[in-house]
Structure 1
Amino acid sequence: MKKVMFLTILCLLCSFSYSTSATPSEETYGYGYKKQYNEQPPDLGFYAPLIEKYNGIYMGDPNKKKVYLTFDNGYEQGYTSTVLDVLKEKQVPATFFLTGHYVDDEKELVKRMVKEGHIIGNHSNKHLDFTKASESKIKQDLKALDEKIKSYTNQDSVLFFRPAEGRFNEKSLEITNNLGYVNVFWTVAFVDWHSDRKNGWKHAFNEVMEQIHPGAIILLHTVSQDNADALSHLIDELRKRGYEFGSIEDLLWEKHVPLH
């Protein structure tokens, strides 16, 4: 947490001197990429330089067998405790991107996340599409959720942000960056947010393993029983293949992310 606090202060100090020479585009994008398989990182096309321009991250070092677990939590279906149990047993760090609704309704789980060494990121208080919101509304939304997180836990700052539904534009990247947030995207994900679809743990396991690659930021949703049941198998298999699990916080240092 000391690293998070330091990085946040540094980011906020630098933001005062940050400016761009051109007006950022307001064209809306739905984040995506072309999968490569065979432990090769996906092709992000123009998204990669655009995200990097505003100091965002989407993967770690593609030459290091290190991966990063992240979870998006909009509401609870009873599986997050299992996920936390597995992470604790396997000693694996994770980042949980939460909405305001989740923080309001699941205070004990939120407290547990931080108590057990995980990081909480901002996923928009109201799960807003920031490409359709004014700058003042974006600031208000982010601040509201940050204050909830800090009031319920001992996490004293919120550094990481993930856009709702992966929707963003250059303007939203600039605004969140200038506010001191690091936008976190991903390189491994699949359709796993439909809580009524149960395909078994092997389905989730195979979806992740066929996309895995060195430096992967993995996005999973905790509303999926398949994910909860697969997590232990995934961790064991990845370690068997020589992978380590890192923290998004450490990734900033490893990649030397320039904070403005």
Structure 2
Amino acid sequence: MGYKSIAKGNPTINACAFTFDDGPSKQPLEEWLDALEQFSVSGTFFFTGEWIDKHPDKANMLISRGHELASHSYYHRRMTELTEDVFLEELKETELAFQEATGQPSPNFFRFPYLNFNEENLSWLSKWGYHSITGKDTGDWAGLPAQKIVDNGSVFLYNGSILVLHSNDITKETPAALKQLIRRALNRGLKPVKVSDLLKGIGITPEYRSWKISIEVPDFNSIPLHEWTIIQSSQDRQKLAAESLEWGLDKTPTGKGSERQWIQHLTEPIKANKIIEDRELFSGQLKEDEFWGYARFGVNKEELILLDFGFREAQADTLVDLLRQAANIAKKVGCSSIVARQDMRRIHKMCQQMGWNSKIEVDEFLMAGQLIER
């Protein structure tokens, strides 16, 4: 069976896609975003899972500004040198990094590092449910000057084209070149779109795979807690909201009206994945009359769902204390397992250290068609 990469969109549609590989460490990502947004254009960024783990705030910023993030492997290895197990582990780890950073599942399209792959790699990718995206290489990865990038890329501006550019510490000239390339695309009647939109033009609807961690509630009479308690009064909820706004959590709003938005978020029940929060289980960690953590739960049959949590100081011990609180609550409400969809790898490690049974697995509940609600 022949496996193919997708190198272009529908040639009858006046659209093209600007794509960017890798992920910058020293160069400001905003330089690329600003260049795109100057023309109200959205780009697709194929970044590594390692970059997403290091820069979850930037991953969130990229998506919140209307751009698209997709997988470029976890470590940026030459994928032709890997065994199938390691190859698939690269994909899985990137999906976990993506979901933990953004709260959203990763799309099922992928760009190979160095655009280097073989037939066997494509078969493994297909087995994982992915599409390989290639395109026309502008050569900017070599640190070319802006005008050379423009000259190289301009010949590829036609219906359905996918331009391969980079966003890393070498390609400092790419943002300046990008502005000229976008102008030329618009002058040729092309509409720059995200890769997901280009795929729809050839009859492919992007799909998403969600993950969860399931923890078996340990057999115990009671587990000792450190300052965790149920928050019952509206005054305590208001206090938690005001104090937690200063913790610097990625999820807290900024700008005009941010305090009001955050207070409303914490003082009203949330709904995620069709599960409504049980406000009687709303928990907080108090130290010397100040809040250091919170957790919000829902119940789905025999599962206690950890819907949302945050910490003033995200030490591992704080997470362990939260898991103990969750286990006590699960026992009281008759649940046999605890389910979480954020910080999964860290929770799994803490469970291993405590001797609890846990596993990170595909979230069949969401894969059955339930969408994550924002």
TM-score by length of 2: 0.51
In structure 1, the partner of 2:139 is: 191
- RMSD over aligned CA atoms reads 2.1
Cα distance change, pair 170–198 in 1 and its aligned pair in 2 (3 A): closer
Match runs of 1:245-256 below 5 Å: 245-256=192-203
More strand by share: 2
Counterpart Cα distance in 2 of 1:258 and 1:178:
17
Q: Which residue of 2 aligns with 1:121?
A: 70
Change (3 A) 1:79 1:237: farther
Alpha-carbon deviation of 1:79?
4.2
Distance of aligned partners of 1:198 and 1:250 in 2 relative to their CA distance in 1, 3 Å threshold = closer
> How far apart, CA to CA, are the structure 2 residues paired with 1:249 and 1:210?
23
Amino acid at match of 1:225: K
Q: Which residue of 1 aligns with 2:9?
A: 60
TM-superposed CA distance for 1:248, in Å, is: 1.2
Q: What letter is aligned with 2:139?
A: V
Is the 8 Å Cα contact of residues 15 and 198 (structure 2) preserved in structure 1? no
Which one has a bigger Cα radius of gyration? 2
Structure 1, unpaired ranges of 5+: 1-19, 21-48
The within-5 A match list for 1:159-170 is 159-170=108-119
User: Whose RCO is larger (CA < 8 A, sep 6+)?
Assistant: 1
1:96 maps onto 2:41 in alignment: no
Aligned to 1:155: 104
- Aligned to 1:218, the other structure's residue is in SS state strand
Give the Cα separation in 2 of the matches to 1:134 and 1:167.
15
Q: In the alignment, is the contact (CA less than 8 A) between 1:67 and 1:244 conserved in 2?
A: yes
TM-score (norm 1): 0.72
Query: Which residues in structure 2 correspond to 1:1-260 (within 5 Å)?
Result: 50-51=3-4, 56-186=5-135, 188-194=136-142, 197=143, 199=145, 201-223=146-168, 224-257=171-204
Q: Distance in 2 between matches of 1:119 and 1:144?
A: 19
How many Å separate the matches in 1 of 2:205 and 2:30? 35
Question: How far has the Cα of 1:202 moved from its partner?
Answer: 2.1
Maintained 8 Å contact 1:79/1:225: no
SS of structure 2 residue aligned to 1:256:
coil
Contact 2:17 2:160 in 1 (8 A): yes
Q: Distance in 1 between matches of 2:105 and 2:205?
A: 22
Deviation per CA, 1:195-250, whole angstroms, max 9, x where unpaired? xx452x22222221123222110110113122111222221221122111122112
Over residues 138-189 of structure 1, what are the superposed CA-to-partner deviations in whole Å (9 max), with x where a residue is unaligned? Answer: 1111111110111111332331111111111111111111111111110x22
Q: What CA distance in whole angstroms lies between the structure 2 residues aligned with 1:79 and 1:220? A: 16
- Equivalent residue letter for 2:137: A
Are residues 174 and 101 of structure 1, via their aligned partners in 2, closer, same or farther at CA, if it must alter by over 3 Å?
same
Moved over 4 A (4+): none
What letter matches 2:45 in structure 1?
Answer: F
Contiguous gaps of at least 5 residues in structure 2: 207-374
* Secondary structure of the corresponding residue to residue 255 of structure 1: coil
The 8 Å contact of residues 79 and 222 in structure 1, kept in 2 or not, is answered as no
State the identity as a percent: 26
CA contact (8 A) 1:114 1:155 kept: no
